[in-house]
Amino acid sequence: MKDIILLGASGSIGKQTIDIIKKDLSSFNLIGVSVFNNFLYLKQLLHEFSTIRYAFLKDDDIKNQLKIEYPNVNFYSLEDGFNNFIDHLKGDILVNALMGFSGLYPSIFAIKNNMILALANKESLVVGGEYINQLLKDSKSKIYPIDSEHSAIYKCLKQKNDNVKKIILTASGGAFRNLSRDQLKDVTKKDALNHPTWSMGKRITLDSDTMMNKCFEIIEAHYLFKMSYDKIGVILHDESMIHSMVEYLDNTYLAEINKPDMHNPIAYALYESNYPCDLYKNSDYHKFGNYHFHLLDEERFPLIKLAKDVIENKGIYGCVLNACDEECCFAFLNDEISFLQIEEIIFTVMSKIKNDEFILNYDLYEKYDYQARQLTRKIIKQIGVK
């Protein structure tokens, strides 16, 4: 029986994690959850799982009401501090399904406390991958990626991890994959959130449109699999059925093929890789099925280039990149900037913040996260929607 802490319980990954836990209550014991605004879903979970002992939500007044209703649960709100809530957790597996910088501290906490980290929060590694890998050296913790691409790579490398030529991340191309640069000038928020193959949250859907999501995943793969930038490739794949591939020196490919659904990657992480998966081997990835592939054009998706900068320069570059992207996504979704201005602002901010040598720790990342956000907001206000 494993004690599970689920952060981001009311999101897409969180709800699919609950599906898996419910199917095997003899293996999993849900003891802690976090939501943000969705207190009704929290109440539903508290009703369904009498095992919950820790819970976080945004509103302090609702927290106080719930404390009366559920006296055996330790409730925390924003007023108490999210990181303070994290500091009180004890469990076997921490599922980090948070979005953005907020997921970094829980990932660090899990590793320092020798917990299994089921990681859907890619920003943890984008921002702090260098530091996290340092911490893992002195920890009994292990990371199981929940991103479908990295879960697929993990499975392939578990089956065969020698003579690797390249790992290849597949990308859908997002809602605008068939549009030219010129056609992107007038796209709307509604257009951007209409992903062709996946059902995801707003920010990750928008990041798929700009290809920032794949930029993040290259950085994530670098830290997870200890691969240099030149051994990580990306290919556009329309159907999102091949989740990712490993190419070997004998010119064969190993790939996971499955429908675009997150239940399998989540289950694979919760069962600590003791879970079935569908891997296929072929001499040419075009032979895996009647699927469509396209080479990635970096001029069409220029943000992908920033993965190389972050991997090769490290330091606080990943932190700055994530903070700027988060603020630009919020701004676009609030109609403050246009779609193409997202790229413009990110490149501007990345060029303005200096990456010096640092002793890496959470406080440093928090400092530069704040600085990057302030600079990004300043630029957003200056340029307005074009």
Burial per residue of 319-346, b for 16 or more beta-carbon CB atoms within 10 angstroms, e otherwise: bbbbbbbbbbbbbbeeebbbbbbbbebb
pLDDT digits 0-9 by tens, 47-63: 999 999 999 999 999 99
Whether residue 9 is found in the same domain as residue 37:
yes
User: How many domains does the chain fold into?
Assistant: 3
pLDDT in tens, 238-278: 888 999 999 999 999 999 998 888 999 999 999 999 999 88
What percentage of the chain's residues is helix, strand, coil (to nearest 5)?
Answer: 50, 15, 35
The helix/strand/coil state of 196 is coil
Parent domain of 358: 315-383
Residues 130 and 42 in one domain: yes
- 310 lies in some domain: no
pLDDT digits (tens, 9 = 90+) for 348-375: 999 998 887 678 999 999 999 999 999 9
Q: Are residues 21 and 102 in the same domain?
A: yes
Same domain, 34 and 120: yes
Structural contact between residues 52 and 31, judged by C-beta atoms closer than 8 angstroms: yes
- 325 and 340 in one domain? yes
Q: Are residues 8 and 133 in the same domain?
A: yes
Residue 303 falls within a domain, yes or no?
A: no
Buried b (16+ CB within 10 A) or exposed e, 212-249: bbbbbbbbbbbbbbebeeebbbbbbbbbbbbbbbbbbe
Q: What pLDDT is attached to residue 197? A: 61
